[in-house]
Each structure stands twice: as structure tokens, then as C-alpha cells.
Amino acid sequence: MLEPLSEPFMQRALAEVILLGLAGGALGCWVVFYGFSYAAESLAHSIFPGLVLAAIAGVPLLLGAAPAIVLAAAAIALVARIAGVGRDAAVAVVVTTMFGLGALLALSPSSPPGIESLLFGDVFGVTDGDLAAAAVLAVLVAVALRLLYGRLLVAGFDRGTARSLGVSPAVADAALLVLLGAGIVVAVQGLGNLLVVAVFVGPAAAARRLSERMLPMMLLAAGLAALAGVAGLYLSYYAGTAGGASVASAIVAIYLVSLLLGQLRGSSLPRAGVTIG
Amino acid sequence: MPAAALIEAEGLAAGYGGAPAISEVEFALQAGQTLALLGPNGGGKTTLLRALLGELRPLAGRLAVAARCGSVPQTERSRLDYPVSALDVATMGSLSALPWWRRPGRREREAAASALARVGLGELAGETFGRLSGGQRQRVLIARALVQDAGVLLLDEPFSGLDRPSADGLEALIGDLAGEGRGVVLATHDLEQARACDLVLCINKRQVACGAPARVLDDLGVLEATYGGAIVEIPGGGRAILPPHHHHH
């Protein structure tokens, strides 16, 4: 069990997945309750051209991903304003355009080899800069969620009444999407463009089956995500499977176990609209 | 000369841009009074409640609200699968008095706990909101408005979906809260609940009538203008409203 820990590349990878897991798990609880899972998936895919350009230029991926996600968010907001185009359709149009652009760039002769690591992640190749970014993300998410907790709770509970309680649902949405965007941009290095959404949705969905209060749910999701990261890396080390995919598989496995445990406890909350008693 | 009213509306019109959704609204609510808001779906009850909350600016006329309004929505609008306790929900009422970076602390939670005790739910403070009965959830939302220190309670269909005992208990609680000097505005479809209030305001795009229940509710013309349909006497007492014209699709 301890042998992989002596490898420097493994130490870095473990530190990366634990930091990303803590941030992604806690943030993911809000992503799930605000119905932003599709937004998370879409934002992740739409940064693909930024990643490819960064790889071609040989600069850190963060420098390509950050402008790309801002561009995608602005484009979605603009397209959604065109009469007759719903928000759903706007997201789909922008995401496929951006992802297609990324694929075009990736398949051009000038793109360097190893472009698939952008899609599936290169958790064993994280740099000091990546680790620093993950640490900053974890601190940012922890501080922001602590400050915004009460207001996020109100806006997620009942949007219609939030304003009369002194909370703007639009500001709560925006704050959450900014955090989510930052999380995706930082996590994409380790988990890849296609799999990064797993860390934001899977552990939170699992924790939701097992907890009926927000704070314990966030702590549980953060712990489960970090655990899945470590388990995935061990799987990858011993079975020789791809790092990002192994972490994503571990997250799915934890979700399935949580479903079973939730069934055994028989205590999952009623769905909205169902009245008890 | 009576004391200044909690709410005073004169020739009020409000809406969402374009033609006003409600107009000619004129009433005054004094401290301790309850007002029933009667009208068909889409007749403007919710629009009036939102105007009272300050979420809609008057398009015409005057609206003076002298007390903080606490909103008590239908609990089906909130999420029953949400991971919060009754105490968590009641505590939400403290946020508007806190700067944005501050989380509710012990003082706020104590205020929430005593508000829950006030509405008769002291024992259930730790229960998950979604597991409470409809009447209990309605009480939690009233407690949240009390934590907000609301001088006026705005209740949207508070009795819908409640069984008789729960509805009676809730009606008694609302009466007690009004007795403490609060104003109460409740949107309802139930003519008998409306009869128990001090004032009845009938609205269907524009105000049809406002006054004492006996005067308003016994006037068949008022009810027909409000609901746009025929009122029929049910043999053995009571009345029912027939919808105007039924379109077949």
C-alpha cells in the first residue's frame, strides 16, 4: 500500500486529486441542488479549444482554459438573448461550436502529439503550478462557501421568496457559476476535458443519498471525492489503467455504493411535490 | 382619527411591463386586521402580493407600506427534497438583517427556535423540513416571517391541501398573530376562510370590491364579477362557483 507513495509522480498526483476532490465535492453539492450539472458538463467541453491552443503554444493549460470559459459563458449569455433561442439551445449551440473548434485545432498538423491527454487528463503529469492552482482553488472554494452558505441555502430552497429575504437568486447563481468555472479550469489538467464533470456531480450525488443536512453533506461529498481520487490512483498504479478514467470510475463506484446504503437506510428524502403525513 | 395604516393603496396599478396586471386597487389595512384576497387564478392575487413586497413598482396610484412584509408562500413551491431542518428554514428569516458576508450565528438560531416555539413547533425544530406535514411546513414558513420581524404577513393559499384540523389550527394561529398587532393578508379560494377575516378584497385584473365580509360576500354580483362565472346556491346551504365557459379541445 505504501510503495506507490515513494514515487514522486504519485505523490503529486495524490496531492492533486485530494485537493480537487475536497473543492469539487463541497462545491458539487450546490451544483447538484441548483441544477447546474448540465452547465458544468457544458462549460467543461467548451474550454477544449483553449486547452488545445495552450498545448500548441506550450504554455500552462490554465492560460488557455481561463479565457475560453469566460468566452463560452459570454457567448451563451449572448445567444440566449436572441429571440426564439432558449437557454438550453444556446448552451448546446455554443458548446458544440467550441468543442468542434477545439477538435479542428487538435487535428491540425501543427498540434503536438499527446492531445488525448487534454480529453482524458494527465493526472500523473501535474506540475508544481498545477498543484499550486489546485491549492488556491481549494482555499477559494472553502472561504467562498463559508461566506455565502446562508444565502446559497435560501436561494436554492425557494427562489421565489429569496428576494423578500434579502437574497438575490441571480447573484447566488452567478457566484456559484464563477466558482464552478474556476473549479473546472483548474481540475481539467488532472481529470481531462471529458471526465472533469465527474468530480463535481458524482460525490455530491452520493452524499445526497446519505445525508439530510447541507453541511454534513458537503463534508461527506468532499471526503468521498478525495477518497475516490486516492482509490482511482491506486487502481491506476496497480492495474495500469488511465489515471483520469480510474478516478472517474472510482467516483461512479462510490455513487453506486451510496445508492445501496441509502436503500438499506430507507431514509432518502421525499421527492419535491410529495407530501408526507 | 385611527392610527396610521400598515398598508394603504390608492388607485394602485401594477404589472410586469406592458398593460398592468392589476388596477384600481384601493384599501387600507390597520394593525391587527386580517384581509382575505379573493380572485380567480391569474386574476392578480400574486401580483398584488409582489407589489406589497416591493418587488413590483406601482405603475399608477399610490402604495404605502409602513411595516416589513414577510412572505409565506405555498410550501409546495419550496423544495421538499432539500437538506434543511425546520430550524434552518426559520433561520433564513434572519439573513435580511445581516451583512452579506455574515452567516447566521447563535443569536439568530435562538431567535428562530423561539419563533418555532411561538407557532407550536418547538419540539420539531430539528426535523427535516420535507418530512413535516403540510400544515407544519406552513407554520415553519410563518416562523421564518416572524424571525424577519414582519409587521405584515402575506400568506399565499395557506390552507390549500390541509385537512380540517390543520386548517383550523392554522387559522387560530393567524388570528393570534393578528391579535398581537400584525397585519395579515391572505390569498385564498375558500369563501368560508374569507368570511372569518376582517376585510375581503375581490380582485379580477381590477379591484371588484373591498369591505367587510358580510357586505362583499353576500353580494352575488360581486362574486360573479370576481370569478367571471355564475354563482349557484347549493341546496342545504353554501354556494359554488361555476366556471364561465368551458372550451373543449
Chain A residues lying within 8 Å of B84, measured CB to CB: 153, 157, 213-214
Q: Closest approach of chain B CAs to the CA of A159, in angstroms?
A: 8
Q: Closest approach of chain A CAs to the CA of B245, in angstroms?
A: 30
Residue type, A271: R
> In terms of Cα–Cα distance, which of A128, A248, A120, A133 is closest to A194?
A120
Asked whether the beta carbons of residue B92 and residue A269 sit closer than 8 angstroms, the reply is no
Chain B residues lying within 8 Å of A207, measured CB to CB: none
Mutate to test the interface with A, among B55, B57, B68, B78 (most CBs of A within 10 A): B78
Asked whether the beta carbons of residue B53 and residue A164 sit closer than 8 angstroms, the reply is yes
Q: What is the H or E stretch that residue B210 is in?
A: strand B206-211
Tell me how far CA of residue B243 lies from CA of A95, B224, B237, in angstroms: 48, 10, 20
Q: What is the pLDDT of residues A4-50, one digit of tens each?
A: 888 889 999 999 999 999 999 999 999 999 988 888 888 899 999 99
Mutate to test the interface with B, among A33, A158, A220 (most CBs of B within 10 A): A158
Question: Which DSSP letter does residue B128 get?
Answer: B
CATH of segment(s) A3-263: 1.10.3470.10
Q: What is the H or E stretch that residue A41 is in?
A: helix A37-46
Q: How far is CA B44 from the centre of its chain?
A: 13
Asked whether the beta carbons of residue B71 and residue A213 sit closer than 8 angstroms, the reply is no
> In terms of Cα–Cα distance, which of B73, B132, B71, B140 is closest to B112?
B140
* pLDDT, mean over chain B: 88
Q: Which of A121-125, A205-209, B63-67 comes out lowest in average pLDDT? A: A121-125
Asked whether the beta carbons of residue B79 and residue A160 sit closer than 8 angstroms, the reply is no
Q: What is the pLDDT of residues B114-170, one digit of tens each?
A: 999 999 999 999 999 999 999 999 999 999 999 999 999 999 999 888 888 888 999
Asked whether the beta carbons of residue B81 and residue A213 sit closer than 8 angstroms, the reply is no
Q: Closest approach of chain B CAs to the CA of A80, in angstroms?
A: 21
Residue A207 has pLDDT above 70, yes or no: yes
C-beta neighbour count of A82 within 10 angstroms:
11
Of the pLDDT bands very low, low, confident and very high (cuts 50, 70, 90), residue B234 is low
> In terms of Cα–Cα distance, which of A197, A258, A205 is closest to A20?
A197
Residues paired with B146 in a beta bridge:
none
- For the entire predicted model, the pTM comes to 0.87
Asked whether the beta carbons of residue A161 and residue B77 sit closer than 8 angstroms, the reply is yes
| Grid cell of A184 as nine digits | 473546472
A33 phi and psi angles, rounded to 5 deg: -75, -25
Asked whether the beta carbons of residue A214 and residue B104 sit closer than 8 angstroms, the reply is no
